[in-house]
Structures are given as C-alpha cells and as structure tokens.
C-alpha cells in the first residue's frame, strides 16, 4: 500500500496509479452533495438546465458540513453512507465525475461505472467529522440553499486523509 499527496485537479489523470487500500491526502476543490442535492442536480440534468458546477474532473464528497464558528469554516464534516447515492453515481461518472468520497460499500453498477470512466471511490473515516473538518480551509454554499446542511457546497481542502475504496480497475476494499 502506498501514500499519495494529490490535488483534485490531478486526480482524474492519476487515478490509474491508485490501488485499493492506498492512503490519499487530498487537497484542492471538493463539492459536498447528499441525497437532496443529488435530486436537485438530477432535476437540472433532466430539464437540460445548466449545473452549478462543472462535473468534468470534479470530486463529490457525500457530506453535510455543520456550520462553522469564528475562523473555522465548519466544525464537523463527516461522510454519509455512500450507497444512498448509488442510484445517481453512474450517470454523474459518465458525465465526467473523477471521484466520490464517502463511507461504506458501493453497488456493482457504481463499481462498473468507476471502471468504465477510470474514476476512483475514496473512503473517509466515519465518526471522524471533527478531524476531517481540520482539512477544510474554505467552505462556500453554491446552490440549493433551501436544503440547509444538504445544500451544494464548494470546499477547499488541504491534505484530507482518505483511503482508496474502489480503484479504477475495480479493486474493491469491501470485496476482497
């Protein structure tokens, strides 16, 4: 198992280097989206309306950050269960999504879409939202404010600690 310090802007090009179980310290831009934000994105896609983010090479973190305090952009930003987004992930991957961050296993359809698109699924440690929040430098709500903590947010992160859960060849940490 290897360790990688990567920027999100390089992730799509370097995904093929990553293997299941590798440690990744990710920096750059990440978007948060949970169930309701995914539904809102799909309404836009289905109506051929513009999206509030460019999916090409993007990274989506399945999280709903808590409000920050003082200079802290958020107090906690832990992953939610990724399988809840399995019905959305293949289409987003086919539209250019480079990676997803969450926790827990993914469906066979998601694994196949990861392989088809040379993408990667990264796992964050569940229950460690306060620790993960230390990697978040900036947080900006960019769409769907009516969804509260589930609104679409853009994060700037530095060295967020992650593990490769599913690599671009289909290796799956949950099915060894």
Across the chain, where does the E strand assignment appear?
A: 3-7, 23-32, 59-61, 99-102, 120-123, 136-143, 152-166
The H or E element containing residue 90 is: helix 89-94
Collapse the DSSP code of 153 into the 3-class scheme (helix H, G, I; strand E, B; otherwise coil) and give the result. strand
For residues 99 and 122, is the Cβ–Cβ distance under 8 A?
A: yes
Long-range Cβ pairs for the range 147-152 (8 Å, 24+) = 147/36, 147/37, 147/40, 149/64, 149/65, 149/66, 149/67, 150/33, 150/34, 150/35, 150/36, 150/37, 150/64, 151/37, 152/31, 152/32, 152/33, 152/37, 152/40, 152/41, 152/52, 152/53
- For the question of residue 140 being annotated catalytic, the response is no
Q: Which residue has the tokens 């310290």?
A: 25
Catalytic residue, from 34, 38, 103, 111: name it.
38
Question: Which residues are part of the catalytic machinery?
Answer: 38
């Amino acid at each position: 198992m290897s360790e990688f310090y990567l920027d999100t802007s390089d992730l799509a090009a370097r995904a093929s280097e990553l293997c299941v179980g590798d440690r990744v310290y990710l920096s750059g831009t990440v978007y948060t989206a949970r169930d309701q934000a995914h539904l809102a994105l799909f309404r836009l896609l289905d109506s051929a309306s513009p999206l509030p983010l460019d999916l090409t090479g993007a990274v989506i973190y399945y999280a709903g950050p808590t409000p920050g305090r003082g200079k802290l952009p958020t107090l906690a930003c832990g992953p939610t269960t990724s399988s809840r987004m399995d019905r959305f992930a293949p289409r987003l991957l086919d539209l250019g999504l480079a990676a997803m961050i969450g926790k827990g296993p993914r469906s066979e359809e998601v694994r196949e879409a990861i392989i088809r698109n040379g993408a990667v699924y990264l796992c964050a440690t569940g229950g460690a939202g306060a620790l993960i929040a230390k990697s978040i430098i900036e947080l900006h709500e960019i769409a769907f404010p009516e969804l509260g903590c589930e609104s679409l947010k853009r994060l700037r992160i530095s060295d967020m600690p992650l593990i490769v859960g599913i690599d671009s060849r289909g290796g799956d940490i949950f099915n060894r």
